[in-house]
Amino acid sequence: MTGQVLLTMRGISKYFPGVRALENVDFTLRAGEVHALMGENGAGKSTLIKVLTGVYPKDGGEILMDGKSISPSSPLEAQKCNISTVYQEVNLCPNLTVAENIFIGREPRKAGRIDWKTINRRAAELLKQLNLEIDVTKTLDNYSVAVQQMIAIARAVDVDAKVLILDEPTSSLDENETSRLFDVVRGLKKQGLGVVFVSHFLDQIYELCDRVTVLRNGELVGAYEIEKLPRVELISKMIGKELGDIQSMGKNDAAERGEVLIEAKGLTAFGRIKDFDLTVHKGEVIGFAGLLGSGRTETAELLFGVAKPEKGTLKLGGSEIRFATPLDAMHHKIAFCPEDRKVQGIIGDLTVRENIIIGLQAKNGMWSHIPMKEQERIAEEYIKLLQIKVSSPEQLIKNLSGGNQQKAIIARWLVTEPNLLILDEPTRGIDIGTKTEIQKMVIRLAREKQMAIIFISSEIDEMTRTCTRLAVLRDRKKVTELSGDEIYPDRVMAAIAGGV
């Protein structure tokens, strides 16, 4: 049961130079409801949340909390109004301990001194409520992005919140962690909290949420009860047109594969992967399927020279090779687009053009000059190819929406025109329309440019649509390969789980 209205946002507008991020948007949140905020990349979801939490001043409209007008001018002030947030990009400090991250800025004190014992104990207790039993005295960078996300949530729920905002909290969580988080959210809902939930995962929206507010191009499309809104209608409200194209995308019916490009035999690196064999042909899209922690990313890193194998061989075009560094791998026309775009990806204070060109610049050598005209041409070509929403290529990348930053990083690797492109969760956080575009692009690159692509994704549907072959990993070993007719969701799921 949902209760009375907790929070009202009325007629909210927000403009950035050249961008109308929000125009006259209304939003209401009731006590005890989980309210989804949906829309394509750049629709204005994060901006609405940042206006609510005082990160950005609003250019119009008003915010009422419990019937009283508020206008927080910082997240801390918002917190004092009982509004707590976990942002899309985890913003914790990697070199502080887990416990410090949870209590930073509000450390319990004893006789004027920070009371570390209490901090550590309370942090451990809090995380235990989220079913996370880890050493809270270790620094944050010891833990995966998924765990860091849970820590951010622990921090957010520990303050006296009436409204909890989760901006794409699950995009780096696996199924287990997600269902744990959902249990936590349901518990908070029972206590009467209002939860705002931003996500691109339809299944999750239907599983968890009571209502949904849809934004498109900075405008309100409407607010709906989830139960009464069929999925197809929700999607067409988001993209502003009928479905057709998205549903009609078929499978990647394996085109001719070319000659052998790269061959791994018995690759082993302690704690990463054991005895990994794989032969990659030109023109293939090979999926690495498996749960979080199964060794997908770690294996990709071995192929790209991020880590070095202790045993085993790697052959490229028939001759044995060892990559000393990722740059070395790049010179051999291998590209790797990493999973964690915040840490390994964007350089916030550079423009979109510069962020895209960096890939080429690194490959060509820092001193080789790429004429400005050429840079502009390339940037524009890829902005168009990936439909990156920018006001201009000269916009700072940190001002793009999360999904559009992700696309720019993919562009960075595409410009190097690799023979082997490794994409680690390329569609995470990307809206459903563009997701399909990226999948199509992958298939096109393989077919038309004979590029070999290694595609890592946690979404089985997209793997089965996009890949011509799957390497299934479990517990840091390749357990089987699937190809052709074997690639369908139930079979893949069973292979991942260890049923067959």
Residues interacting with Mg ion, by CB under 5 A? 46, 88, 401-402
Which one of 16-24, 139-147, 408-416, 434-442 is the stretch in contact with ligand ATP (CB under 6 A)? 16-24
Q: Are 48 and 27 in contact (CB under 8 A)?
A: yes
Interatomic CA distance for residues 241 and 142, integer angstroms: 45
Which one of 36-44, 235-243, 249-257, 462-470 is the stretch in contact with ligand ATP (CB under 6 A)? 36-44
Please identify, using beta-carbon distances, which residue of 21 and 132 lies nearer to ligand ATP. Answer: 21
Number of Cβ within a 10 Å radius of residue 214: 24
Residues shown for the chain: 500
41 counts as binding ligand ATP under rule CB under 6 A? yes
In SS3 terms, the chain reads as CCCCEEEEEEEEEEEECCEEEEEEEEEEEECCCEEEEECCCCCCHHHHHHHHCCCCCCCEEEEEECCEEECCCCHHHHHHCCEEEECCCCCCCCCCEHHHHHHCCCCCEECCEECHHHHHHHHHHHHHHCCCCCCCCCEHHHCCHHHHHHHHHHHHHHCCCCEEEEECCCCCCCHHHHHHHHHHHHHHHHCCCEEEEECCCHHHHHHHCCEEEEEECCEEEEEEEHHHCCHHHHHHHHHCCCCCHHHHCCCCCCCCCCCEEEEEEEEEECCCEEEEEEEEECCCEEEEECCCCCCHHHHHHHHCCCCCCCEEEEEECCEECCCCCHHHHHHCCEEEECCCHHHHHCCCCCEHHHHHHHHHHHHHCCCCCCCHHHHHHHHHHHHHHCCCCCCCCCCEHHHCCHHHHHHHHHHHHHCCCCCEEEEECCCCCCCHHHHHHHHHHHHHHHHHHCCEEEEECCCHHHHHHHCCEEEEEECCEEEEEEEHHHCCHHHHHHHHHCCC
Which one of 41-49, 189-197, 352-360, 456-464 is the stretch in contact with ligand ATP (CB under 6 A)? 41-49
Which one of 15-23, 69-77, 154-162, 408-416 is the stretch in contact with ligand ATP (CB under 6 A)? 15-23
Q: Report the nearest approach of Mg ion to the CB of residue 435 (Å).
A: 15
Please identify, using beta-carbon distances, which residue of 53 and 361 lies nearer to ligand ATP. Answer: 53
Please identify, using beta-carbon distances, which residue of 38 and 438 lies nearer to Mg ion. Answer: 38
Q: Report the nearest approach of ligand ATP to the CB of residue 310 (Å).
A: 40
402 counts as binding ligand ATP under rule CB under 6 A? yes
Contact string (CB under 6 A) for ligand ATP, positions 75-114, x = contact = -------------x--------------------------
54 counts as binding ligand ATP under rule CB under 6 A? no
- Residues whose CB is less than 8 angstroms from the CB of residue 439 and which lie 6 or more positions away in sequence, other chains included: 249, 427, 462, 465, 466
Q: State the number of binding residues for ligand ATP (CB under 6 A).
A: 20
Q: Report the nearest approach of Mg ion to the CB of residue 415 (Å).
A: 25
Would you state the torsion angle of the CA atoms of residues 464, 241, 385, 422, taken in this order, to the nearest 10 degrees? -20
Please identify, using beta-carbon distances, which residue of 47 and 457 lies nearer to ligand ATP. Answer: 47
Contact string (CB under 6 A) for ligand ATP, positions 306-325, x = contact = --------------------
Which one of 105-113, 342-350, 360-368, 394-402 is the stretch in contact with ligand ATP (CB under 6 A)? 394-402
Which one of 43-51, 91-99, 249-257, 318-326 is the stretch in contact with ligand ATP (CB under 6 A)? 43-51
Which one of 67-75, 186-194, 312-320, 398-406 is the stretch in contact with ligand ATP (CB under 6 A)? 398-406
Q: Report the nearest approach of Mg ion to the CB of residue 43 (Å).
A: 8
Q: Are 445 and 416 in contact (CB under 8 A)?
A: no
Interacting partner of 428 out of Mg ion, ligand ATP, none (Cβ under 5 to 8 A depending on kind): none
Please identify, using beta-carbon distances, which residue of 213 and 252 lies nearer to ligand ATP. Answer: 213
Q: Which of 35, 45, 353, 491 binds ligand ATP (CB under 6 A)?
A: 45
21 counts as binding ligand ATP under rule CB under 6 A? yes
Number of Cβ within a 10 Å radius of residue 407: 28
199 counts as binding ligand ATP under rule CB under 6 A? no
Interatomic CA distance for residues 151 and 149, integer angstroms: 5
Q: Which of 16, 116, 201, 224 binds ligand ATP (CB under 6 A)?
A: 16
Which one of 261-269, 325-333, 352-360, 401-409 is the stretch in contact with ligand ATP (CB under 6 A)? 401-409
61 counts as binding ligand ATP under rule CB under 6 A? no
Q: Report the nearest approach of ligand ATP to the CB of residue 443 (Å).
A: 23
Interacting partner of 44 out of Mg ion, ligand ATP, none (Cβ under 5 to 8 A depending on kind): ligand ATP
Q: Which of 44, 290, 345, 393 binds ligand ATP (CB under 6 A)?
A: 44
Q: Report the nearest approach of ligand ATP to the CB of residue 458 (Å).
A: 18
Interacting partner of 21 out of ligand ATP, Mg ion, none (Cβ under 5 to 8 A depending on kind): ligand ATP
433 counts as binding ligand ATP under rule CB under 6 A? no
Residues engaged in binding ligand ATP (CB under 6 A): 16, 19, 21, 39, 41-47, 88, 389, 399-404, 431
